[in-house]
Structure 1
Amino acid sequence: MKAIVQHRYGGPEVLRLVDVAPAIPARDQVLVRVRAASVNARDWHFLRGDPYLARLAAPELGLRGPKVTVRGTDFAGTVEAVGAGVDHLRPGDDVYGEANGAFAEFVCAPAGVVAAMPGNLSYEQAAAVPLAANTALIGLRDLAGVRGGQRVLINGSSGGVGTFAVQLAKAYGAEVTAVCGPRNLELVESLGADHVVDYTRDDFARHRGRYDVLLDLVGNRSLADLRRATAPQGTVLLSGGGVSRGGSLFGPMGLMMRGTAVGRFVRQRVLVLTAVPSAANLAALTGLLESGRLTPIVERTYPLAEAAAAIRRLEVEHARAKIVLRVDTDG
């Protein structure tokens, strides 16, 4: 099968489209013929092995090169085969989910992270959902417990996670303030944001104690800034962020480490958002997607062979919402 692989750390130029042996589903696994796969910040972090500390922390990475060589996480496609113990999915089912190696014609995924695809979405739209929407769901629903009447700020509202976070916070009845650049103001307004802050003209951190929940998806502000904008008993959620500057030791992990340390001694809850994929969460998202309360935003699609260009678009050109790869069945 055709797959996008990397054997050394570097920029998008190290990626190659090559033939690799197709996977065979083991017990409790599903083999999916991939129709579309989306690009996440995770892909360029893993591509570059950046930050360097992640090479020690992430099981997919090694000190000198990646241990998992096929890139990609999010996918949507058709079940090709199932392993023993899988009884809720069968060949021919349209599904979506998360698994290492999604930038390929086929991917083998644990059945517990695969769910039936929303009936109102295309493969490209469905592939945009799993990692980003699940991250927003866990942060806002599970960690912050967002509810009606709360004031929620989302820093990085026009990105993959951010566009879902704006919609989810609104679905939970919150008053949403979205922070983004000037070219994305109309986008986040169309998603339902009550207030939009253009970070080139205004500073959300100067409004002391305004927000019950602050979700930071950028990692470009100090912890003190984030806490200043959050109510005394509010919640600060830290999730990823950072841009490539040619390699870093800590990257966004530095802010998360400080947040974990400081959170033990202050009234505010300072939490690091770690998203664990699950079919149950995908089912919850499917309900929101099929009801129209949640909509994936896809800025652009690329063929699988142009995965390097797609990652470059996300990493360097700061694409809005999601970038998706189309995976043709003929490779």
Structure 2
Amino acid sequence: MKAFVLRSFGSPDALELTELDKPRPGPGEVLVRVRATSVQPWDWHLMRGEPYVARFMGGGPGLRKPKITVLGADLAGEVEAIGAGVTEFAPGDEVYAMPKGGGFAEYACVPESELVLKPANLTFEEAASVPLAANTALIGLRDQARVGPGHDVLVNGASGGVGTFAVQLAKAYGAHVTGVCSTRNLDLVRSLGADEVIDYTKEDFTRDGHRYDVLLYVAGDRPFSDCRRALKRKGAHVMVGGSAGRWFQPAGRVFSTFAKAPFVSQRVLLADVIHCRQNKRNLTALTELIEAGKVTPVIDRVFSFDQIPAAVRYQEEGHAPGKVVVTI
């Protein structure tokens, strides 16, 4: 099979198109013919091995060389074969998953415990855009902040991969939603159901006097002291990533914010999808919302398989509204 292999940390040019042996599913595993994957910050953090501090952390990219050599944390495709003990799936089933690696290849082995039937109303490309980004939003809003009817929720970075799902999920849970994005994406965020939109190039949501129950702070670099001004006294500040840096960020910002948590009245939370052990349950919940028409993926661009390095380079620029997808 063909796969893009990462043998050393570096730029997208470090991704080498290589011929590998087709994997065989072991006990409890399912061999998936990958039809689509998506590209996201998780991939290029692993590709570059940054921030460097993450190399010393559990779940990090690896110390001296990449721990995951075939990137691609999302995939959608068809079941090709099943391993011993697999009972839930059969060849030909259309599925999707968040295996944290393996999507940048024509085939991938995925544990049955991580795999879910693809939403019937989505294409493979649309389904591949869902797992990591939507799961992150779900964990942040449902599990961490416990968003429900009547809550006032602000989503910073509302036009990005996580943000577009977060706006829709918060609305599905009955919240009043404000989305923060740039001028060119205001109409997009409104179309997702946001009750209010804020153009961050013209307004500062931390200084307009409004107080929110939940602030889902996606990929920003404002200090927590600023964000607190936009939260109610018992509000929840949920962190999702942040502006990248070579040495410490966004990890440093997360650590410093949690260091302040014991001294403030607001809750400080982290939407940690990487260490989540409930991916199957979460994807099942997302499938129900998608098939009910309450959540719809937003795709910015679709690249072909041989354009994966270009897709990673484009996503790394950080301006894509919605998701960047690769068809295989």
Q: Shorter chain as normaliser: what TM range?
A: over 0.9
- Trace 1:311-326 onto structure 2 (pairs within 5 A): 311-316=312-317, 318-326=319-327
Q: Which stretch shifts more, 128-137 or 201-210? A: 201-210
1:254 CA displacement: 1.2
Tell me the equivalent position of 2:154.
Answer: 153
Q: Describe how 1:8-23 pairs up with structure 2 within 5 A.
A: 8-23=8-23
Instruction: For 1:163-202, list aligned pairs within 5 A.
Output: 163-202=164-203
Amino acid at match of 2:85: G
- Deviation readout 1:262-319 (Å, 9 max, x if unpaired): 2223221001111125211111111110111000011110011101111111111521
- Specify the SS of the correspondent of 1:84: coil
The amino acid of 1:161's aligned partner reads: V
How many angstroms does 1:220 deviate by? Answer: 1.5
Matched residues in 2 for 1:19 and 1:160: separation? 31
- Per the alignment, residue 134 of structure 1 pairs with 135
Deviates more, 1:219-228 or 1:51-60: 51-60
Distance 1:60 1:305 in 2: 27
**Inter-partner Cα distance in structure 2 for 1:156 and 1:311:** 19
TM-score, L = length of structure 1? 0.95
- How far apart are 1:17 and its partner, in Å? 1.1
- How many Å separate the matches in 2 of 1:117 and 1:36? 12
TM superposition score normalised by structure 2: 0.96
- Residue from 252, 255, 258 that aligns with 1:257: 255
| Structure 2 match to 1:33 | 33
Task: Note the alpha carbon deviations across 1:7-45, whole angstroms, 9 max, x for none.
Answer: 111111211111112222122211100000011110111
Cα distance in 1, alignment partners of residues 268 and 97 from structure 2 = 29
Name the residue aligned to 2:85: 85
- Pick from 272, 279, 298: which aligns with 2:270? 272
Give the counterpart letter for 1:302 in structure 2. F
CA distance in 2, matches of 1:59, 1:174: 33
Alpha-carbon shift at residue 129 of structure 1 (Å): 0.4
Give 3-state SS (helix, strand or coil) of 1:161's partner.
Answer: helix
Contact 1:4 1:17 in 2 (8 A): yes
Residue deviations 1:175-224, cap 9 Å, x none?
Answer: 11101111111110100111111111000111346110000111311111
Which deviations, in whole Å up to 9, do the C-alpha atoms of 1:137-192 show, x marking residues without a partner? 11111111101111100111111110000000011111111011111111101001
With 256-265 and 133-142 compared, the bigger mean Cα shift is at 256-265
**Pair 2,58 (structure 1): closer, same or farther in 2 beyond 3 Å:** farther
Contact 1:5 1:18 in 2 (8 A): yes
Counterpart mapping for 1:280-319 below 5 A = 280-316=281-317, 318-319=319-320
Taking a change above 3 Å as real, the CA distance of residues 16 and 58 of structure 1, as seen in their structure-2 partners, is farther
* Preserved contact between residue 259 and residue 272 of structure 1 (Cα < 8 Å): no
- Match status 1:236 vs 2:237: yes
Whether the 8 Å CA contact 2:304–2:327 is kept in 1: the answer is yes
Distance in 1 (CA, whole Å) between partners of 2:60 and 2:232 is: 38
1:220 equivalent to 2:221? Answer yes
Aligned length: 324
Aligned residue in 2 for 1:7: 7
Could you give the per-residue CA deviations for residues 216-263 of structure 1, whole angstroms, max 9, x where no partner exists? 1113111111112111100000111224xxx52211111111222222
Deviation at 1:60, TM superposition (A): 5.6
For 1:189 and 1:274, locate their aligned partners in 2 and report how far apart those are by CA, in whole Å.
27
> Superposition RMSD on alpha carbons, in Å?
1.3
Unaligned runs of 5+ in 1: none
Greater CA drift, 42-51 or 52-61: 52-61
